[in-house]
Amino acid sequence: MFQTGRLVVFCGLLAQTLPLPMTPSLALSPTDLAGSLTSALSDGLLSKDLLDILENLPLSDILKTGGNSPSRLRGGLLGKVPLLTPLLNNIVDLKITDPQLLEPVLLKSPDGHCLYVTIPLAMVLHVKMPLVGSPLKLAVKLNITSELLAVKDEQEKFHLVHCNCTFSPGILQISLLDGLGALPSESLIDNITGILNNVLPGLVQGKVCPLVSEALDHLDATLVHSTVNALMYGLIKVS
């Protein structure tokens, strides 16, 4: 929410605040800007140990104990789908390997004054369950989306604002890479997918979104200047 004349932000953290002149001139071209911004965000996320954080997500502990998990897990999820309880209790271990940050994608709002940064992540899950024998190896992909806005306050300072870092329900993509001598039943894979859909995206969001804010905090000043001006004038171009 924003109020004209005063800066009223309910979106979250400010990436940088700069006393920038209101000018349509850009240090980077609108086309180069998109590539520079996604590259800088990728580098920033990787420098904040994104991949190590993903590999060490406490997913197995949450599934086993409920721990500090959201209410939709042991209570909400299993309360609504009681048949999943035996399945969940039979997950002996769940390990994340090979986390990857894929190339971020920029989308802009119709008026060009807002950017949506999609951060695609991939990983491999190894699920140990006695009832299916050898471990299942699952490829997982999901996207986190952050919104960037440019705002000017009453002191004529420009802000690159990071807000609404979210994931869309049902965006988890899971495919079987390897597993049993005989393929597991489709219902088993569907049940595992249902559990992960209710746990993994929120867990990743809680770890990745603060890193996006930190990466924005350390963007090069010239890049911030160009991004703010491009957003203010709707000049940014994305492929």
pLDDT in tens, 173-207: 888 886 554 555 677 778 788 888 888 998 999 99
Question: The tokens of 96 are what?
Answer: 């994340």
Q: How far apart are CA 69 and CA 158, in angstroms?
A: 38
| Best CA proximity match to 185, nearest among 198, 196, 176 | 176
Question: The tokens of 85 are what?
Answer: 């309880």
Main-chain dihedrals φ then ψ at residue 16, nearest 5 degrees: -150, 150
More confident residue, 86 or 218: 218
CA–CA–CA angle 146, 36, 40 (5° rounding): 60
Q: Mean pLDDT, to the nearest integer, of 114-129?
A: 90
pTM: 0.78
Q: Tens digit of pLDDT for each residue in 65-81?
A: 654 444 444 443 444 44
More confident residue, 10 or 151: 151
